[in-house]
Amino acid sequence: MKRIGVLTSGGDCSGMNATIRAVVRTAMNTGVEVVGFQKGYRGLIDRHYEIMQNRSVSNVLQRGGTFLQSARCREMLEEAGQAIAADTLKGLGVEGLVVIGGDGSLRGARALANRGVRVIGIPASIDNDISHTEMSLGVDTALNNIIYAVDCLKDTASSHDRAFVVECMGRNSGYLTLAATVASGAEHAIIPETPFDLEAICASLRRRYQEGRFNSIIMVAEGAGSAQEIAARIKDRIGFETRVMVLGHYQRGGSPSAFDRLLAARFGTAAVEALLAGESGKMVGLSSGAMVLTELDLVLASGIRPIDRMMVQLADKLT
């Protein structure tokens, strides 16, 4: 194998640049050239790419986002688009491809693998919703961003006797919300995986008020409800003022945490080594501290990574 490609697809997250760096450095140190495709699969369709050099990945380790950029590519949902992408790789002499992204990106990787392209996927999703890996790229940084924001909100909440309803990303997974609730000491977590009783939450907050605790934080995953709507429903029922904070895309950005930098280095290196060993149609994942390969068919068939019920119980005990 003389030349491989790398792309980032779907939603961006911190650690993508560090992963690209690991792919490029690992490949070049074994005499393999790397082609970086710009704006995800769009780069394959439109033939937008650059030949990577060591200097291409200098001073990117600490940067959030992805310097190769990312974009949605509807063409990859159709066989015609998939054929164009495969032909681009063949025409450029690219013998293997590393795809960094979430569920949709991995589906594109599988489609290319089914067309004979050697592909290894790397899970990158701040929701931590990809199966067969204990942690996806970008999760830890996003979690730290949320905790920092909640810590700041607690300062102002305690100064004004207020409750804040904080909305986190997580359309189908409440991992970020649940983990942030435990790690920040928030009072309640509302997540898609678990039914919630708003009256019981209000009763709990009223008890806090009666006990002389005049501020609270309620964490909400976007897939479980709107922070604005929940705040409107509780504002006159809990004893103190209610405010809303929708964290939105703030969660995606920022310099990657040490954990994400290390995970990126391991993911990128393992992906290149897998390609060089002749592997294809698989995803690199983290399992019990080790790098493991899982068939993309199995990853995608397994659906959304289930929430850790022990974490749910822990949040219940500590709120």
Is 237 annotated for ligand binding? no
Is 13 annotated for ligand binding? no
Distance CA 92, CA 20 (A): 19
Closest CA to 175 of 219, 227, 132, 226: 219
Is 138 annotated for ligand binding? no
Is 282 annotated for ligand binding? no
Is 250 annotated for ligand binding? yes
Which of 12, 46, 87, 127 is catalytic? The answer is: 127
Is 64 annotated for ligand binding? no
Q: 93-102: buried (b, 16+ CB within 10 Å) or exposed (e) per residue?
A: ebbbbbbbbb
Q: CA–CA distance from 97 to each of 72, 73, 118 (Å)?
A: 18, 17, 6
236 is catalytic: no
Is 252 annotated for ligand binding? yes
Is 212 annotated for ligand binding? no
Is 185 annotated for ligand binding? yes
The H or E element spanning position 141 is helix 139-160
Closest CA to 293 of 132, 148, 144: 132
Distance CA 256, CA 64 (A): 6
Is 235 annotated for ligand binding? no
Is 249 annotated for ligand binding? yes
- DSSP string of 63-118? --S-TT-----GGGGSHHHHHHHHHHHHHTT--EEEEEESHHHHHHHHHHHTTT--
Is 126 annotated for ligand binding? yes
Is 154 annotated for ligand binding? yes
Q: 127-141: buried (b, 16+ CB within 10 Å) or exposed (e) per residue?
A: bbbbbbbebbbbbbb
Is 23 annotated for ligand binding? yes
Is 101 annotated for ligand binding? no
Closest CA to 2 of 59, 49, 51: 51
- Helix 198-210 to helix 227-234 angle (10° resolution) is 60
* CB proximity list for 289: less than 8 A, separation 6 or greater: none
Closest CA to 198 of 165, 173, 169, 159: 165
The H or E element spanning position 286 is strand 282-287
Is 243 annotated for ligand binding? yes
Q: Which residues are annotated as a binding site for ADP?
A: 21-25, 154, 185-187
Annotated binding site for substrate: 125-127, 162, 169-171, 222, 243, 249-252
Annotated binding site: 11, 21-25, 72-73, 102-105, 125-127, 154, 162, 169-171, 185-187, 222, 243, 249-252
Binding site for Mg(2+): residue ranges?
103
Q: Which residues are catalytic?
A: 127
